[in-house]
Amino acid sequence: MALVDQVKKEINEVLDLVDEKQLDAAEPLITKDKRIFVLGAGRSGLMARAFAMRLMHIGYTPYVIGETITPSVQKGDVLVAISGSGNTKSIVELAEKAKNNGVTLIGVTSNKNSKLAT
């Protein structure tokens, strides 16, 4: 199997695992009149940055948590927290703190039984 075909196969396998009802619930939370913050570590952090860049390209106001020019997250903002395991301590703690401060939280994880998923 050619490399491109293998990559396409793996992408399709992952997409088949996505619960579209969850996507439908998250979509209206990300609006152009809100500041969108993204958070992730390691590979998840790279994907968070790519997501933020794409949001910027289509007219949203995204920020990456941890960058030097990122303002503080405030009540009414949206935080997209990404963790493959859903249990990365630094991600979960910041997500919980933001949620407790009135920030809309969208957790993205492959582990439906994780702390981030609950």
Residue whose C-alpha is closest to residue 98's, from 80, 61, 73, 116: 73
Q: Write down the residue that tokens 């948590």 correspond to.
A: 65
CA distance 77 to 1: 45
Report pTM. Answer: 0.90
Q: How confident is the model at residue 16 (pLDDT cuts 50, 70, 90)?
A: confident
pLDDT of 76-114, one tens digit each? Answer: 999 999 999 999 999 999 999 999 999 999 999 999 899
pLDDT of 53-83, one tens digit each? Answer: 999 999 999 999 999 999 999 999 999 999 9
